[in-house]
Amino acid sequence: MYYGGRNQPRPYVSGKPVAKGIIERRDDLLRLVESHRKVLAFLTGDEHNYNRTRLGPGVEIYPPDWKGAKVELRRRFYQVNNGAAGAPYYAQEQTPWTPHVKGFSTQNALCLFHVDGPHVRLEVINPETLEVIDGAVLR
């Protein structure tokens, strides 16, 4: 979730907001992915749509006025969002990384990862119609 680049939205525990906002929590996840060289892609599902984004050096992920610490992405990997399982859908939000978003869809989506040794291919289909929504060779 990006919330228009606002870092204020955060979960509450015992009636009190946690210390880190949404962008800082996202950065924690990106640092974890970045630290494990074997991670090629990870799945998310909070946005109610399907999309695939290749993150890495040169991909802007912060709002223009961001003053906090920034994670440095030194290698490329994919975020595959599949929150398209039947909840009310979201249209594509404008974010700093929007130019890198591929295969966006609000259809119901099933992500299939085909692994053949070092080769990994993503196939995304609509489970109701079997229509191919997206596909990509990830490695």
Is pLDDT of 10 > 90? no
Give a yes or no: residue 67 inside a domain.
Answer: yes
Mean per-residue pLDDT for 91-119? 94
Spatial separation of the C-alpha atoms in residues 133 and 110, rounded to whole Å? 9
Residue 128 pLDDT: 93
Give a yes or no: residue 33 inside a domain.
Answer: yes
Give a yes or no: residue 32 inside a domain.
Answer: yes
Give a yes or no: residue 134 inside a domain.
Answer: no
Is pLDDT of 99 > 90? yes
Give a yes or no: residue 133 inside a domain.
Answer: no
Give a yes or no: residue 130 inside a domain.
Answer: no
Q: 5 φ, ψ to 5°?
A: 85, 5
Give a yes or no: residue 139 inside a domain.
Answer: no
Q: What is the DSSP letter of 19?
A: S
pLDDT band at 9; cut points 50, 70, 90: confident
Tokens 């299939």 appear where? 112
> What is the pTM for the complete model shown?
0.89
Residue 68 pLDDT: 93
Residue 121 pLDDT: 98
Q: Which domain holds residue 101?
A: 3-107
Is pLDDT of 87 > 90? no
Q: 137 φ, ψ to 5°?
A: -85, 115
Structurally, the chain folds into a number of domains equal to 1
pLDDT band at 3; cut points 50, 70, 90: confident
Give the 3-state secondary structure of residue 104. Answer: strand
Residue 130 pLDDT: 97
Give a yes or no: residue 73 inside a domain.
Answer: yes
Q: Which residues contact 86 (CB under 8 A, 6 or more apart)?
A: 108
